[in-house]
Amino acid sequence: MSHPTETRRLTTRRLTTRRLSPRQRILTGISVVAILTLGLFGASSLLNSSNTASALRGHPEILRPGCTWDSSGYYVQNCKVWSESQKREVIVQIRASSGSDSGVYLLDGMRASETRSAWTTDVQAARVYDAKANTTLVMPVGGASSFYTDWDGGAGDKNTVIKQETFLTSELPAYLEREFGVARNNNAIVGLSMSGGPAVTLAERHPEQFKVVQAMSGYYQTDNPIGALGVFATQSLVSNYVSGIVNMWGAPGGTRWTDNDPSKNVGKLAENGQVLIISSGNGFLTPTELAKLAPQDQISAIALEILSAVSTVLMQLQAKQSGASVISLPNYGGHTWENWGRALGDGKGHVLETLRNNPPVTAKTTVVSASGSPDPEGPAKVTMAVKNAAAASPALDASVLAALESTDASSASSETPASSESAASSEASDSVDPSTDVSTSAPAAPESVAAESAAPAEESAAATTEPTVPQVEPSAPSVSEQPAPSTATTTTPVR
């Protein structure tokens, strides 16, 4: 049995060995504080994922919150974006950039699916704009027969609310900025068939968002009886929107029809230094198209592309006469995805060069004549030049000339000498020979893109306001691409 004194000594020795020195106590305290700080930071990051995503520019390999991977591969994500104006979620298929803040919006056609964009099924857009392109691809799903605009009334039997313009230019950009780091002022927009004209209109109406627009096989002269009839026919046959011709923009001939006619507002592209890339096929089907299409689809693919080719020629002339920067891409084939996939690749170099080199539109400019003063007779000269070109072309019939006459009349009634600061006064004053090729004043495409055959037209206008050139940000390392899906897809001609 141990003595009580010895027991106290042992207890004191044990307590002494467990006691920490002052330095150890300080280090232990610092460690505890550091662990607590890291834990709180991690918890706040998880609770506020939007803050993390706002700094997450690029990184296509990282899946964003609420998104799922698409089966097409190439790091395409399926994201649901809330549209307050339409009170519903819209699926948007997105492939993040490799580090840049630019974006390319790809609109679908007349028969757009509500589940996937045809840019991921009929054309692998993410393979065309690969990781080296270093831009975010934005492919909204749906929009069949909508013309990607804000409707005045409801659509179809369900009275569906359609506010596509609000979604594409306000709600979606906010989401892309927050989750993918896409800037609101460094974007391109691409449209085909039904969405070709609306893509140009969206660029005209929102120059601060879109620097460049590419339109393929579009229809651009809609504010006339023939154009209105075409809108009615397509909406009725495809989506059963028999009231769409009135519920979309009001009665034909109204101001909203004029506001949404891309050919009547093309001067805005010149005012704001934007670039128009335009193309159409020639209506002669390729062997591949003939093999894929049923006989009835072959007829529609030929007819629709011939109509688009006529509208495209007119739009090229109108845009060139307005002083806009126009790049005309030669193409062939019918109204098919083979045509549009080829055009997407041909226009890629021009789109990327414009996004990299052109400054964002921060203030509208006033285009003046070569003498340095606005030309009040510019609109009349533009209309007359286009009418002369149309009259000389055997491909254009009397109905097209009648549409031009109505354009001339509406322009004459709305213009006054006092409106020199308006968009109409910005039309270039020099008359251009319609037989010459379209101006290609935009930067040349890389060697992989077909070189533009037309020489740059002589500049007839100068801008009085120059926007500030943005700083160029370094690009993140490129990300290796996923393999393409092995299943082949069959294209449909009418979009």
Burial of 103 (0-12, 13-18, 19+ CB in 10 A): buried
DSSP 3-state of 361: coil
Mean pLDDT calculated for residue range 31-43: 55
Q: How would residue 157 be classed by pLDDT, with cut points 50, 70 and 90?
A: confident
Residue count of the chain: 495
pLDDT tens per residue across span 294-319 = 999 999 999 999 999 999 999 999 99
Residue 82 has pLDDT above 50, yes or no: yes
> What's the average model confidence in pLDDT over 404-420?
45
* % pLDDT > 70, the chain: 62
Domains of the chain: 58-364 (3.40.50.1820)
DSSP 220-269: ---SSHHHHHHHHHHHHHHH--TTHHHHTTSSTTSHHHHHT-GGGSTHHH
Q: Is the pLDDT of residue 463 over 90?
A: no
Q: Which pLDDT tens digit goes with each residue over 386-409?
A: 455 445 444 444 444 454 455 444
Radius of gyration of the chain (CA): 29
The amino acid present at 69, given as its one-letter code, is W
Long-range own/partner contacts, residues 387-394 (CB < 8 A, 24 or more apart): 388/434, 389/317, 389/434, 390/314, 390/317, 392/434, 393/313
Q: How many whole angstroms separate alpha carbon 281 and alpha carbon 336? A: 9
DSSP 3-state assignment of 428? coil
pLDDT of 91 > 90? The answer is yes
| Residue 323 near residue 267, CB atoms below 8 Å | yes
Query: What is the amino acid identity at position 402?
Result: A
Average pLDDT over residues 37-53: 45
C-alpha–C-alpha distance, residues 403 and 225, integer Å? 8
User: pTM of this prediction?
Assistant: 0.67
- DSSP class of residue 110 equals T
Taking the C-alpha atoms of residue 270 and residue 460, their distance in angstroms, rounded to an integer, is 11
Indicate if 305 belongs to the active site: yes
Q: How many CB atoms lie within 10 A of CB 54?
A: 14
Residue 237: pLDDT band (50, 70, 90) is: confident
**Bridging pattern class, strands 88-95 and 68-69:** unpaired
Active-site annotation holder among 335, 350, 425, 427 = 335
Residue of 39, 69, 65, 63 whose CA lies nearest to 50: 65
User: What's residue 243's pLDDT?
Assistant: 84
- Cα-to-chain-centroid distance, residue 32: 51
> C-alpha angle 355/358/362, rounded to 5°?
110
Tokens of 347: 């226009």
Asked about 335 being catalytic, the answer comes back as yes
Do residues 258 and 223 make contact, with C-beta atoms less than 8 angstroms apart?
A: yes
Predicted local distance difference test score (pLDDT) of residue 74: 97
Strand partners, 463: 367
- The Cα–Cα gap between 408 and 416 comes to 14
Residue pLDDT, tens place only, 170-188: 999 999 999 999 999 999 9
What are the structure tokens assigned to 370, written together? 């070569």
Helix 378-392 vs helix 295-322: angle between axes, to the nearest 10 degrees?
140
Query: Among the options 97, 145, 193, 460, which is catalytic?
Result: 193
Tokens read off for 9: 């000594």
Catalytic choice (179, 289, 305, 338): 305
For this structure, is 59 an active site residue? no
pLDDT the model gives residue 442: 37
- Nearest Cα residue to 445 out of 275, 316, 206, 267: 275
The CA distance from 274 to 266, in Å, is 10
Contact 192, 277 (CB under 8 A): no
